[in-house]
Amino acid sequence: MALVSRVLVAGAGIGGLCAALALAKQGVHVVVLEQAQALGEVGAGLQMSPNAMKVLRELGLEPELSAFAFVPQHAAIRHYKTGEYYLKSPLGEQAEARYGAPYWHLHRADLHQVLAQACSQAGVELVLNSMVTAYREDAELNQVYVLLEDGREFYGDILIGADGLRSKVREQMLGEERPTFMGQVAWRGVISASDLTVDVKPDACVWAGPGRHFVSYYLRGGDYVNFVAVEERSDWQSESWREEGDVEELRQAFADWHPEVSQLVAAASSTFLWALNGRDELPTWRHGRVVLIGDACHPMLPFMAQGAAMAIEDGYVLAEYLLRYEWSVALTKYEQIRKPRATKVQQMSKANAGLYHMHGGVFGKAKLRALQAAGCFAPQVIQSKLDGVYGHDVITRWAKE
């Protein structure tokens, strides 16, 4: 049985680098084609739940990442004005004991840097300033060729499209289609904890309010606070994470919220604003020798904090199948196992928008009260809903293959 020996990856994001690292550690020659002129990730926080941490641990990254991590003590949902808790579910040591891996907050740039360094050490060939524009398959040579914007070509046994929401690989595979604007925009930013005049709890906290919500949590051992503020709007559709937002507009939008929110945004010196976009479930994630991972095939709203985690799972699972099976079998198995899970998490994320934004009037508020009651009197119900996400283990399942 001939396994892959040379793999192309379009995109050096977190999912693409995880796939590259998993393959390279087992002797596969991996070429990562990245359109940026320099490798780096813009500043933002990530919530790394246990399902993702199990993969990062398996890839040998946990020790180095621990220096950058913050361990939240609870996952919380609070009322936007009163601060009343609708949910306060334990994380920290309890989450690690329950799921077999920690729940960490990491700065995206830190995770990306550690991944990139590990890839380099494993022999991954990283080619910068390389915009993928098209691919073609050669049946006689059993190869796939990638064409870059500058005319260069690269070949491999498999092409992994990890090139994000606006994936050129997905576009050629399934046709040109604009992503769907979800009617929401998000501000994000990072604030030095030393600049704050308010005590921010050591939790992964969602502040739920009418038509908008606010997320705050610590990064880098507690030295910084990351925030994401989401508002329902129809007048902004920029997809760039580097589009600078108006800090004063952000402050006004949350001026009448709980002091822990309003004083936090008052300390922000800059912010970025981007539109939240998605796609309907794709008919397929693969065609021939080409396969998609991460946002290229399942972009999701950030309301379960699982976007990066799903890409990490994708990359590892795809690599394991390619290391164990003939390529066509591997790609089929990958899609069969990953598509249902990612689609379910997409749906859960979308449903949380209504909960966080108090949709449904009295009925919407009743759902929050029901969540509050469950947390008080039947916390196992809350945990069971998270178990399917956080408890998922893509590492140990290989023993059953």
Supply the pLDDT for residue 50. Answer: 97
Query: From the candidates 86, 99, 103, 217, which is the catalytic residue?
Result: 217
Would you state the torsion angle of the CA atoms of residues 126, 127, 130, 134, taken in this order, to the nearest 10 degrees?
-70
Q: Is 137 helix (H, G, I), strand (E, B) or coil?
A: strand
pLDDT higher than threshold 60 for residue 358: yes
- Better pLDDT: 179 or 393: 393
Active-site residue, 85 included: no
Burial class (CB in 10 A: 0-12, 13-18, 19+), 100: middle
Residue 69: phi and psi, rounded to 5, are -85, 155
Percent of the chain whose pLDDT exceeds 90: 71
pLDDT higher than threshold 70 for residue 364: no
- Better pLDDT: 218 or 350: 218
Supply the pLDDT for residue 377. Answer: 41
Helix (H) or strand (E) holding 87, with range, is strand 85-90
Residues 229-281 have pLDDT tens digits of 999 887 665 555 567 788 999 999 999 999 999 999 999 999 988 888 888 89
- Better pLDDT: 219 or 357: 219
Residues 291-302 have pLDDT tens digits of 999 999 999 888
DSSP per-residue string spanning 343-400? HHHHHHHHHHHHHHTTTTHHHHHHHHHHHHHHHHH-HHHHHHHHHHHHT--TTGGGGG
Supply the pLDDT for residue 43. Answer: 64
pLDDT higher than threshold 90 for residue 128: yes
pLDDT higher than threshold 60 for residue 361: no
Determine the straight-line distance between the first and last CA of the chain, rounded to whole angstroms: 17
pLDDT-derived band at 378 (thresholds 50, 70, 90) equals: very low
| Pairing state between β 158-161 and 125-127 | unpaired
Least confident of 4-8, 142-146, 368-372: 368-372
Supply the pLDDT for residue 182. Answer: 85
pLDDT higher than threshold 60 for residue 82: yes
Supply the pLDDT for residue 381. Answer: 54
Which residue's structure tokens are 């956080």? 390
Provide the mean pLDDT of the chain.
90
Helix (H) or strand (E) holding 337, with range, is helix 327-356
Supply the pLDDT for residue 368. Answer: 67
Is domain 6-178+279-400 annotated with CATH 3.30.930.10?
A: no
